[in-house]
Structure 1
Amino acid sequence: MGNALRIICGVCCKPTSESDSLGHHGVTAQTVGVSALAHDLYSYEINSQVPEGLSKHVVSSKKAQANWYKKLSDAWREAKPPPRTPEEASRLIIQTLKRHQKADVEGLLVFYGLPLPHALVELTHEAPPSTHLEGAPPSAHLQGLKFELQTLPVDAKAVADGDTITVYVSTMTPRESSQVPKDVQVAAVQRSKARAVKNYAKADALHKQIIDAGYRVLLIQNEEVLAKKYRIRLRGIDAPESKMPYGKEAKEELLKLVQGKSLRVLVFDQDRYGRCVGDVYCNGIFVQEAMLKKGLAWHYTAYDKRPELDKWEKDARAKRVGLWASKNPEMPWEWRKDRREER
């Protein structure tokens, strides 16, 4: 596998700068380091052997290395979903091996071409405990919370820009099951019957009826699930619009955070476009925090006064990361106002 990865990168992933230098597997942090780690963990489960050459990057013995791979293999299997990006893989290694020597952890990251600890954005704002809002008042730090959503895995096409996501929630959840319109329930049953007899034209027409009502039938782990559609506006931040500088980067970062993952959304309000305004958590990470710390969003102070969001924006400004690398980045609300006036 290591040789195959080296060949792939030798053809199409040649480094363009010192920061893109190749790691042990011949890959950059932006290519297949995660795949190399996954392969080695899988191989370890089969033959209990750690990769050749690892000892050149770490200080501990082969026996200690084997212990790391056992722990990492267990952590990888327990992660739902498993790491997909270099940052996620780095965090898994750092968290799993946090009691081991710093030189060993960093050596292992270098071995796979993954980001080192100092290159990662430190995320500190954990999701609050589950609220169970049915009839129970929210706690003080969740004042104004209307309801909570646990979404199905997010599709790549669901991210419109750096602060808006379309999500789906299974109608099997207690809150949703009591709100499904009768005509949607009937259409879902009829669609299933139409597909069973291979009447796909009728099934497609019924699915369009379901979609027009704000629902969709999704295939989740080979099982069809009727789900309610929600458009989510990330509370308290405003990311660059798609046509603005850093608009593409903001969208890509949000996609990287949420794609393929189930989200926890705490909904506080609804905006004039019908979107639910809420705090979004992904595997315990506060998504707005990540966007602000990476300099890919503004704290939207006109609608949100939380001091932690203000601090995260100021920290990113001071470090000149993301859009703050520009001296005077145009604020998205001003950009939108200018476009409205031009029309």
Structure 2
Amino acid sequence: MGNALRFLYKNCSQPTTTESQSLGPHGVSAQNVGVSALAHDILHFEVTSQVPEGLSKHVVSSKKAQSNWYKKLLQAWKQAKPPPRTPEETARLVIETLKRHQKADVEGLLAFYGLPLPHTLVELSTGAPSTLPNGVKYELHTLPVDVKAVADGDTITVYVSTTDPRESSSVPKEVQLAAIQRSKARAERNYPKADALHKKITDQNYRVINIQNEEILAKKYRIRLRGIDAPESAMPYGKQAKEELANLVQGKCVRILVYEQDRYGRYVGDVYCNDIFAQEVMLKKGLAWHYTAYDRRTELANWEKEARAKRVGLWASKNPEEPWEWRKDQREGR
């Protein structure tokens, strides 16, 4: 636990030149002050049983009560897999952990760390479906998602271990053989041969992934989030949409309910990350349209309507351009 917190604090607390001009109260940039500072203070509490100085100015309860909060937060952080990385994830952990405590204390603690307050967070539905909805062909349970695998706000690349029962029976023999030969070549430090063998594997839509010093043969899937269309990267809010989806899935194992495969070979499905429905997040934050040409679900329409009414994300603009129209104009050279 201590090592994980030290790693997080160390990586969050190295400001760039531009960041150094806007450091928060704990000496880190305004963008990551909440996550880094809380990680630092939980580590400090684990070692010393001391709560941070200055917190009492933001909350109404005693130092004894504050110690109780940090005990609970320490336990919650240990149980979080993976631990929160973004200010929003961190705020949700604090709110959930301290939900039985006074509102003034919870909000004061969040304010102390510069974390989002409860009323600024998007209210999400609870849980993924316990039974498969109609139309689902199968579900995928992925390995942790690499942030580089997020192409934009509605497309990600994921990998599923071939030890998964659904995958194990369909791995091509040449891929299995190449994986075995590659492992042997690496043991012999014959890296050119190992690289050549890995190319054979990747050419077949597989990949050998190292997770916690264990090499795992995995099947590659390109996923298109069902029912939404996010701005393209070159469009307004395209970068924000990609970052939001990346923050949601990076480093996490996700559950995907696959409905079909599109004309580009992508698997179209609903994406759940720690029981959070990715499409709901993207729509409620105003970072995607409900793609009504392919999906008629009422809840998706309502989530877009909610974001429009609040004028959040792309709806802050009067007439945001639909991505399908933008792509059409690009194809026609307009």
Whether these two folds match at TM > 0.5 is: yes
Q: CA RMSD in A?
A: 2.0
1:52 Cα deviation from its structure 2 partner: 1.2
**1:299 — aligned with what?**
290
Q: Find the aligned partners of 1:273 and 1:86 in 2 and give their Cα distance.
A: 35
Query: Given that residues 28 and 36 in structure 2 are in contact (C-alpha distance below 8 angstroms), is that contact kept between their aligned partners in structure 1?
Result: no
Q: Which amino acid is the alignment partner of residue 58 of structure 1?
A: V
TM-score, length-scaled by structure 1: 0.90
Q: Which amino acid is the alignment partner of residue 241 of structure 2?
A: A
Q: Which amino acid is the alignment partner of residue 318 of structure 1?
A: A
Query: Given that residues 286 and 312 in structure 2 are in contact (C-alpha distance below 8 angstroms), is that contact kept between their aligned partners in structure 1?
Result: yes
1:336 Cα deviation from its structure 2 partner: 1.2
**1:277 — aligned with what?**
268
Q: Find the aligned partners of 1:279 and 1:151 in 2 and give their Cα distance.
A: 13
1:121 Cα deviation from its structure 2 partner: 1.1
**1:18 — aligned with what?**
none
Query: Given that residues 125 and 289 in structure 1 are in contact (C-alpha distance below 8 angstroms), is that contact kept between their aligned partners in structure 2?
Result: no
1:226 Cα deviation from its structure 2 partner: 0.4
Q: Find the aligned partners of 2:126 and 2:282 in 1 and give their Cα distance.
A: 13
Q: Find the aligned partners of 1:10 and 1:97 in 2 and give their Cα distance.
A: 36
Q: Find the aligned partners of 1:188 and 1:152 in 2 and give their Cα distance.
A: 18
Does structure 1 residue 64 correspond to structure 2 residue 65?
A: yes
Query: Given that residues 13 and 29 in structure 2 are in contact (C-alpha distance below 8 angstroms), is that contact kept between their aligned partners in structure 1?
Result: no
**1:93 — aligned with what?**
94
**2:177 — aligned with what?**
186
What is the 5 A alignment of 1:134-153? 138=132, 142-153=133-144
TM-score, length-scaled by structure 2: 0.93
Q: Find the aligned partners of 1:221 and 1:9 in 2 and give their Cα distance.
A: 29
**1:245 — aligned with what?**
236
Query: Given that residues 140 and 160 in structure 2 are in contact (C-alpha distance below 8 angstroms), is that contact kept between their aligned partners in structure 1?
Result: yes
**2:3 — aligned with what?**
none
Query: Given that residues 298 and 313 in structure 1 are in contact (C-alpha distance below 8 angstroms), is that contact kept between their aligned partners in structure 2?
Result: yes
Q: Find the aligned partners of 2:13 and 2:174 in 1 and give their Cα distance.
A: 56
What is the 5 A alignment of 1:1-343? 12-15=19-22, 24-27=25-28, 29-129=30-130, 131=131, 138=132, 142-342=133-333
Alpha-carbon displacement from aligned partner over 1:2-59 (angstroms, at most 9, x marks no partner): 9xx99969983444xxxxxx75425565123211101111111111111111111111
Greater shift, 29-38 or 319-328, is seen at 29-38
Q: Find the aligned partners of 1:59 and 1:23 in 2 and give their Cα distance.
A: 23
Distance 1:11 1:280, change over 3 A: closer
| 2:167 match: secondary structure | helix
Alpha-carbon displacement from aligned partner over 1:139-187 (angstroms, at most 9, x marks no partner): xxx0010111111111121011110000001111111111111110000
List gaps (5 residues or longer) in structure 1. 16-21, 132-137
Q: Find the aligned partners of 1:156 and 1:294 in 2 and give their Cα distance.
A: 20
Q: Which amino acid is the alignment partner of residue 33 of structure 1?
A: G
Which 4+ stretches in 1 moved above 6 angstroms?
none
| 2:292 match: secondary structure | coil
**1:135 — aligned with what?**
none
Q: Find the aligned partners of 1:206 and 1:270 in 2 and give their Cα distance.
A: 29
Q: Aligned residues: percent identity?
A: 75
| 1:188 match: secondary structure | helix
Query: Given that residues 237 and 299 in structure 1 are in contact (C-alpha distance below 8 angstroms), is that contact kept between their aligned partners in structure 2?
Result: yes
Greater shift, 238-247 or 83-92, is seen at 238-247
Query: Given that residues 15 and 29 in structure 2 are in contact (C-alpha distance below 8 angstroms), is that contact kept between their aligned partners in structure 1?
Result: no
Query: Given that residues 14 and 28 in structure 2 are in contact (C-alpha distance below 8 angstroms), is that contact kept between their aligned partners in structure 1?
Result: no
| 2:332 match: secondary structure | helix
| 1:98 match: secondary structure | coil
Q: Find the aligned partners of 1:54 and 1:336 in 2 and give their Cα distance.
A: 51
Q: Which amino acid is the alignment partner of residue 92 of structure 1?
A: L
Q: Find the aligned partners of 1:28 and 1:197 in 2 and give their Cα distance.
A: 45
Alpha-carbon displacement from aligned partner over 1:251-286 (angstroms, at most 9, x marks no partner): 111111111111111111111001000000111111
Q: Find the aligned partners of 1:12 and 1:239 in 2 and give their Cα distance.
A: 29
Query: Given that residues 186 and 194 in structure 2 are in contact (C-alpha distance below 8 angstroms), is that contact kept between their aligned partners in structure 1?
Result: yes
Q: Find the aligned partners of 1:127 and 1:36 in 2 and give their Cα distance.
A: 31
Query: Given that residues 286 and 314 in structure 2 are in contact (C-alpha distance below 8 angstroms), is that contact kept between their aligned partners in structure 1?
Result: yes
1:342 Cα deviation from its structure 2 partner: 2.4
Query: Given that residues 148 and 264 in structure 1 are in contact (C-alpha distance below 8 angstroms), is that contact kept between their aligned partners in structure 2?
Result: yes
Q: Which amino acid is the alignment partner of residue 41 of structure 2?
A: D
Q: Which amino acid is the alignment partner of residue 89 of structure 1?
A: T
Aligned residue pairs total: 325
